[in-house]
Amino acid sequence: MGMKTMRLLCIILAVLALSGCQYDPYADNMTTTQPKIADVVGTYRFEQQTVVGDSIDSKARHAVIRLNADGTVAFSNVPHFSDQFEAHFVGFISAKGKWKTNIVGTVAKINGDKDEWGIALTQVPEDLTSIGLMGDEPPYKLLITYGDPDEGSVMIFSKIK
């Protein structure tokens, strides 16, 4: 193999390695424009989870997150996982705290990186202090991501009122 062929092969392998990185399966659905507070306030019910293989969905169907207009939040029977990186189901939690809209990350889009909007929470378990919003317009969904976003381990809550 000649030197030019070897360089070309190295470049091709580098490009393939970079393009082989996984992609957050929810990135296209993340909210990238600042939402109005009134559009975020409401009650959200558990829709699905992809965190653990064990089916907790039937027990979690009554899980609710309430975002109140006064900046308070209430979690009721929300599935709770051991930690962010080696998550396993440990039970259900109910908690109260405070919330506000905030930039919670960055989303790579075709036309450049965009801010990901969501809610920042205080006085709640650590793994629930940053929740993404899904949708380009209301009604939004709540997206709680566990571990590497490329793995797609999430809980999704849909707005019911």
Is the Cβ–Cβ distance between 136 and 31 less than 8 Å?
yes
Q: State pTM to two decimals.
A: 0.80
Side chain identity, residue 122: T
The CA–CA distances, whole Å, from 44 to 79, 109, 122, 143 equal 14, 27, 18, 11
User: Cα angle at 149 between 122 and 99, to 5 degrees?
Assistant: 15
| Domain spans in the chain, listed from the N-terminal domain onward | 25-159
pLDDT in tens, the chain (161 residues): 566 555 544 444 443 333 333 467 788 889 999 999 999 999 999 998 888 766 676 778 899 999 999 999 999 999 988 765 667 788 899 999 999 999 998 887 667 788 999 999 999 888 789 999 999 899 999 999 887 777 778 899 999 98
- Residue 157 to residue 66: CA distance in whole angstroms: 11
